[in-house]
Amino acid sequence: MKLQIALSRNELEFIREIALEKNSIQEIAVALKKSRPQLYKILKRLIEGGFIEKEGRRLKLKKQAFIPILVQILKNNPHIIPLLADSGIIMLKEMFEPVSIDEIEEKTGLKIAIIYRKVKEAQKFSIVRKKDKKYFLNSKVWPDLKEFLENYKQYALRIAPKIDADLLIRGKYGHEIVVESTKELSDATPTAFSVYSKYGLTIFMPVNYYHFPKKELNIKQIFYDSLVILKDDKEYRKTLYAILFYLKNKAKLKDFKSELIINLKKVLNGEIIKGFPPLSQIKEKSKQYDIKI
C-alpha cells in the first residue's frame, strides 16, 4: 500500500544531458554511450512521466514546478545520481521527519538491505542525518533536494495512467488509486465515506469516492482509503466521520494502526490535539449513531 515514485539512473542521466543543452537523441547517444533503441525506451518513459516533450526532433524539459529544481541538482551534483536512482527517491521522500529503518520499510515496501545501503550512501553526501536511531533528510545542507521531493511527490499524486483527467486523485499506494468524483463511475469500486452507510454510519457527502482498480473491498481497505483521503484533504468534518466509523466498527478494526487512531486514544484520555475533534464533540456525535465510547 505504498506510493511509488522512482527514476532510474538512465532516466536521471538523460534529464541531465538535456539540462546541459543536448536536445537530440543523437547528441545524448554520444554523451551517454548508448544505442538509439535504448534511448528511445528511456525517452518514452520520461515523456509518460511528464518530464520531457518533443518539438519535432528536438527534446525539451517540461515546465512542471519540480523539474527546474531537479535539473539544478543533477547539473551541480551528478555524483548523487546513483543514490537518487530507483529506490533512492522513494526512500528520501519519507524522511522529511525522523524515521527508523523499520518505519521506512513500512512506508515504502522496500527491503531492509536496500534501505540500509541507500541510507549509507546518503550519509556520505550529508543528505541524511541520524539521531536516536532515526534518520532524516538534512534539509539545511540540501534544501533544494527537499523542495524537489515535496513538489514531485505532490505532482505524482495527481497523475495516473488510464484515469480520466476530470477525476480528482486523492491518493495512491502501490497500484491502488483513490479518486473523488462528482459523477458515478462503473469501472471503479465505491469506497471510504461513500460506503460508510453499509457499516452503520449514514452520512451525506456532496461527492463520491472510488477505488481503482475495481475490486471487492473489505472494511479495513475502506477505512484505509478514508485515511488516504484525509492525508490530502484534512477537512474537519471528514476527520470526525472517520473517527466515528472507527468507533462504530472497532471490533473489526482492532488491529488497524494509524496516526488517527493514536490521536483518538489521546483525545479519549483527555488530551487536546490541534485540528482534531474534541472529546465533547466526539461523544455528542457518537450518541447520534448509537456508538458507545
- What is the rounded average pLDDT of the residues 141-154? 90
Residue 231: which H helix or E strand, with range?
helix 219-232
Tell me the three cell numbers of residue 69.
Answer: 529544481
Place of cell 457527502: 205
Q: Each residue of 45-92: pLDDT tens digit?
A: 888 778 888 888 889 888 777 889 999 999 999 999 999 999 999 899
Give the tens place of pLDDT for each residue, 228-258.
999 888 889 999 999 999 999 999 998 888 9
Answer yes or no: is 148 within a domain. no
**206 found inside a domain:** yes
Q: Does the CA dihedral 35-41-44-50 come out positive or negative?
A: negative
Of the candidates 108, 110, 158, 116, the residue with the CA atom closest to the CA atom of residue 135: 116
CA distance 218 to 251: 14
Among the listed ranges 36-45, 55-64, 115-124, which one has the minimum average pLDDT value? 55-64
Question: CA-to-CA distance for 110 and 118, rounded, in angstroms?
Answer: 11
The gap between the terminal CA atoms of the chain, to the nearest Å, is 30
- Return the beta strands (E) in the chain as ranges: 52-55, 58-61, 128-131, 134-137, 168-173, 176-181, 189-190, 208-212
* Number of domains composing the chain: 2
Q: Which residue has the cell 541507500?
A: 118
Q: Residue 152 falls within a domain, yes or no? A: no
Q: Which of 80, 110, 143 is the last residue of a domain?
A: 143
Q: What is the pLDDT of residues 252-262, one digit of tens each?
A: 998 888 999 99
Average pLDDT, rounded, for the chain: 90
The reply to whether 161 falls in a domain is no
- Strands 134-137 and 176-181 turn out to be unpaired
Q: Are residues 139 and 215 located together in one domain of the fold? A: no
Within a domain: residue 1? no
Are 99 and 135 a contacting pair, CB within 8 Å? yes
Considering the domain boundaries, does residue 176 fall inside one?
yes
The CATH number given to whatever domain includes residue 48 is: 1.10.10.10
Which residues, in sequence order, are CB contacts of 252 under 8 Å at separation 6+? 219, 220
85 in Cβ contact with 9 (< 8 Å): yes
Longest CA span, the chain: 71
Regarding whether 178 and 52 lie in a shared domain, the answer is no
Q: What is the pTM of this model?
A: 0.60
Domain range spanning residue 110?
A: 9-143
Is the same domain home to 129 and 13? yes
> Cα separations (Å) of 155 from 63, 86, 158, 172, 270?
12, 18, 5, 11, 38
Give yes or no: residues 199 and 234 share one domain: yes
C-alpha grid cell for residue 36? 538509439
Pair (203, 278) in one structural domain:
yes
Task: Render pLDDT for 28-38 as a digit per residue (tens, 0 to 9).
Answer: 999 999 998 99
**Do 246 and 178 have their domain in common?**
yes
Residue range 180-227, pLDDT digits in tens: 999 999 999 999 999 999 999 999 999 999 999 999 999 999 999 999
Of all residues in the chain, what percent carry a pLDDT higher than 70?
A: 95
Position 53 in a domain = yes
- Coil/strand/helix, residue 29: helix
Same domain, 243 and 127: no
Identify whether residues 70 and 187 lie together within a single domain. Answer: no
Whether 119 and 200 map to the same domain: the answer is no
In a domain, 155, yes or no: no
**Does 172 lie in the same domain as 139?**
no
30 and 134 together in one domain: yes
CA distance 40 to 278: 56
